[in-house]
Amino acid sequence: MLELLNQHAHGFTSAAIVAACEAGGIFEALEAEPLTDGELARRRAANPGHLGVALRALISLGWIDRRPDGRLVPRVDRRQRALPADVAELFAADWRGWLSEREVPAAARRWLGAAGAGWREVHPDAAELLDGALIVPLALALHELGALGGPGPWFDTRSPEWAALLVTYFARLGWCEAPSGRPTPLGAYLGERVMILGTVASYAPMLRALAALLFGDAEAIFTRDEEGRERHVLRHLNVTSSGFQHGRFFADVEALLIERFDQEPIEEQPRYIADMGCGDGTFLRRLWTAIAEKTRRGRVLERHPLTLIGADFNEAAREATRATLADLPHVVVEGDIGNPEGF
């Protein structure tokens, strides 16, 4: 079942790559004559390294091919690869804001209507990419608003128009029943795991700027804003999603630390737990809770306190960690996982 989420994540990034390459004349150039990567980059004034990544993605899609002589040729025609002219809107859509409104915004109505009808205006290959470009941010927004949990109807708190649009689309994907909006077994499973999509969704700012990355000033995309935040990634979403996905690793480390902090003598146990690359601090909080509830050390924390140390290079991650650990003994410091000695 997780393959479906991976397929949607694949569509989310691929739609942006196809749109940027179409706008930059990549397919047009290859339709005119077979070209090597270098020839294509020079012909379209592209950044060779970044274009090379995009070309490998298009080869993986099966939309272009590399001949034995190294030259690239198209494998799909213009009709097969055609995406809506305004597809870039999907990477800037504020679904959380839209879903918070009672009335359905015109853009949301247009996209959900087309998606619910099965993207009739585009080729099935392109439709698969569009589903990814739509469902990734939409499902995350619904998850954040608490609309993809529980066995009851998912969308019954929305206005009738919102509910109808959402039920039609999610029923087409097999996530819910129509007209009730109750989750199917597939939908219940995926709804609990949509945060897996957060990692790829966090790069929406970079995907919006993909044309500039391929054909313009690529370095400008990876700068920071006036407040020091990275421009190319939504870092808080990135670290939150990463934390969600590392559940198995967390469980294994938790078991080891429970064993360590349950040993005597208490006086010889560690006084600190440090996490380099702490993300949003969820891992540290989980470890502290496990030790407090399941070990001998947990029964004497007042006499033998345990301090959590969160280190991360990214300020957004450090801010998130401070919030996560606000009611626990903790220290948050700047640290680079590539420089452990400095830590």
Residue 342, domain member (yes or no): no
- For the chain, helix (H) and strand (E) counts, in that order, are 18, 5
Residue 241, domain member (yes or no): no
- Is residue 67 located within the same domain as residue 110? no
Rounded Cα gap, residues 192 and 206, in angstroms: 27
Mean pLDDT of 189-211: 93
| Domain end position, chosen among 82, 97, 127 | 82
pLDDT of 24: 97
Q: Is the pLDDT of residue 306 over 80?
A: yes
- Is residue 140 located within the same domain as residue 173? yes
Q: Which residues contact 183 (CB under 8 A, 6 or more apart)?
A: 148, 151, 154, 175, 176, 177, 191
Residue 316, domain member (yes or no): yes
How confident is the model over 142-174, as pLDDT tens digits?
999 988 888 889 998 889 999 999 999 999 999
pLDDT of 248: 60
- Is residue 197 located within the same domain as residue 302? no
Residue 46, domain member (yes or no): yes
| Domain end position, chosen among 66, 82, 98 | 82
Q: Is the pLDDT of residue 212 over 90?
A: yes
- Is residue 55 located within the same domain as residue 146? no
- Is residue 121 located within the same domain as residue 172? yes
Q: Is the pLDDT of residue 332 over 80?
A: yes
Q: Is the pLDDT of residue 87 over 70?
A: yes
- Is residue 78 located within the same domain as residue 95? no
The overall average pLDDT reported for the chain is: 93
The CATH number of the domain holding residue 63 is 1.10.10.10
pLDDT of 246: 72
120 vs 158, residue with greater confidence: 120
Give the whole-number percent of the chain exceeding pLDDT 70. Answer: 99
Instruction: Give the domain range for residue 257.
Output: 246-334
Q: Is 146 left (phi over 0), alpha (psi -120 to 50) or beta?
A: left
Q: Are the C-beta atoms of residues 195 and 143 closer than 8 Å to each other? A: yes
Mean pLDDT of 90-117: 96
Any long-range contacts for 47-56 (C-beta under 8 Å, 24+ apart)?
A: 47/213, 47/214, 47/215, 47/216, 47/218, 50/213, 50/214, 50/218, 51/26, 51/214, 54/17, 54/20, 54/21, 54/26, 54/210, 54/214, 55/26
How many structural domains comprise the chain?
Answer: 3
Q: Is the pLDDT of residue 178 over 80?
A: yes
Residue 120: C-alpha distances to residues 40, 126, 169 (Å): 33, 11, 13
Rounded Cα gap, residues 174 and 312, in angstroms: 40
Mean pLDDT of 239-248: 75
* Residue 341: band (very low, low, confident or very high) from pLDDT cuts 50, 70, 90: confident
How confident is the model over 267-298, as pLDDT tens digits?
999 999 999 989 889 899 999 999 999 999 99
* Residue 339: band (very low, low, confident or very high) from pLDDT cuts 50, 70, 90: confident
pLDDT of 303: 94
Mean pLDDT of 101-106: 95
Q: Is the pLDDT of residue 249 over 80?
A: no
Q: Is the pLDDT of residue 57 over 90?
A: yes
- Is residue 170 located within the same domain as residue 202? yes
Residue 230, domain member (yes or no): no
Residue 188, domain member (yes or no): yes
- Is residue 77 located within the same domain as residue 109? no
- Is residue 111 located within the same domain as residue 203? yes
Residue that is written with structure tokens 């960690």 in the block: 321
The CATH number of the domain holding residue 284 is 3.40.50.150
- Is residue 109 located within the same domain as residue 158? yes
- Is residue 168 located within the same domain as residue 107? yes
- Is residue 96 located within the same domain as residue 193? yes
E-strand ranges in 155-281 read 272-276
Residue 222, domain member (yes or no): no
* Residue 245: band (very low, low, confident or very high) from pLDDT cuts 50, 70, 90: confident
| Domain end position, chosen among 82, 105, 125 | 82
Three-state DSSP class for 19? helix
Residue 240, domain member (yes or no): no
pLDDT of 20: 97
